[in-house]
Amino acid sequence: MSNFFKFTLLLVILIITFVVAMLSGISDISVVEMFKSLFFSSDENTYTIIKQIRLPRVILAIVAGAGLACSGCVFQGILRNPLADPFTLGISGGAAFGVSIGFTFGITKLSWFFLPLFGFCGALLSVGFVYLLNLKKEFDSNSMILSGVIASYIFSSAVMLVFSISSHDQLYSAFMWLMGSLAFFDERLLHIIAVFVIIGVILLCFLGNVINIISLGSEKSSSLGINTAKTVKYIFMLSSLITACIVSCCGVIGFVGLMIPHITRKFVGNNNKILMPFSSIIGSIFLLICDTISRTLIAPVEIPIGVITSIIGGLFFVFLLLKKTGKISI
């Protein structure tokens, strides 16, 4: 199967998933009604459900899935480590810290804007910390990973500290956020986030071959004419910003950034130029399915999406490993 055909197939699957996700929910809406309210006017009730409740959330799932999966490829490729994911540099810890402070000191109640803002600032704080630690050195993936681990530890313990002085209510909402959920999201941010993440993902996909070269090691990449340290810094900056944006809106959604790239590798190989666009689209489909399940399975109660992603993704990956070789091997 050619890659072009595979990609088209995935696009079709994405569209089908989109339609199914738009139709699922407590109130029954027919396909015709849905398209009517999407493109033309319809009665107010359906319009509200489709355009103001479901559509923003579905778009966010698509955008976040693509962003996380694409950044996952970037981090794995550049850090040359199959266990790397978008949170390796401590972004999740930083964001969690920002958000838990926001919840505990009641700042998030002041305005809708403060929750994502605190998440974003926390994420930038941890990324900045890792960059500062590596500022003077030549690029070295192990030292980057280690600083990321250090940042995670410091921020996680800071989160614990903040939690220990929080009330039950605050703890509960902060905890739900930590598990990752698209429910906290305010659609007023959707335009900015969607445009930024989509442009970022497209840019990163164009840099696929550069990431290939960097994954050969700094000696080879430098002798092929790349200023490795500088390029790595820019690429990290871009993918960290994408991740920070997503985390600040949907919390820490694990698994997508780690496993979607690996699942995609099984289909299209390790060439980042091909891997990254495929990963992005598979990430979108995956997160959209997971989010739809999370809000419909035991509605009106929502299951945190992080739980769903891990269960489905993990099982799927086990299936993939077993099917390919008959026994488990990575």
Binding residues for another protein, per CB under 8 A? 76-77, 80-82, 206, 208-210, 212-213, 215-217, 219-220, 222-227, 265, 269-271, 273
Could you give the CA distance from residue 270 to residue 210 in angstroms, rounded to a whole number?
A: 13
Structure tokens at 19: 């339609």
The CB-of-213 to another protein minimum distance in angstroms stands at 5
For another protein, which is the closer residue by CB, 36 or 273?
Answer: 273
Is residue 148 within 8 Å of residue 89, measured between CB atoms? yes
Tokens 């994408």 appear where? 242
The CB-of-272 to another protein minimum distance in angstroms stands at 9
The CB-of-231 to another protein minimum distance in angstroms stands at 10
Instruction: Compute the chain's Rg from CA coordinates.
Output: 20
For another protein, which is the closer residue by CB, 167 or 209?
Answer: 209
Is residue 235 within 8 Å of residue 210, measured between CB atoms? yes
Give the DSSP H or E segment for 179.
Answer: none
For another protein, which is the closer residue by CB, 146 or 311?
Answer: 146
Is residue 204 within 8 Å of residue 198, measured between CB atoms? no
User: What is the separation of C-alpha 21 from the centre of its chain, rounded to a whole number of angstroms?
Assistant: 19
The CB-of-282 to another protein minimum distance in angstroms stands at 17
For another protein, which is the closer residue by CB, 84 or 293?
Answer: 84
Structure tokens at 277: 């666009």
Is residue 143 within 8 Å of residue 84, measured between CB atoms? no
The CB-of-198 to another protein minimum distance in angstroms stands at 18
The CB-of-266 to another protein minimum distance in angstroms stands at 12
For another protein, which is the closer residue by CB, 213 or 305?
Answer: 213
Structure tokens at 281: 């689209």
Could you give the CA distance from residue 101 to residue 93 in angstroms, rounded to a whole number?
A: 12
For another protein, which is the closer residue by CB, 24 or 222?
Answer: 222
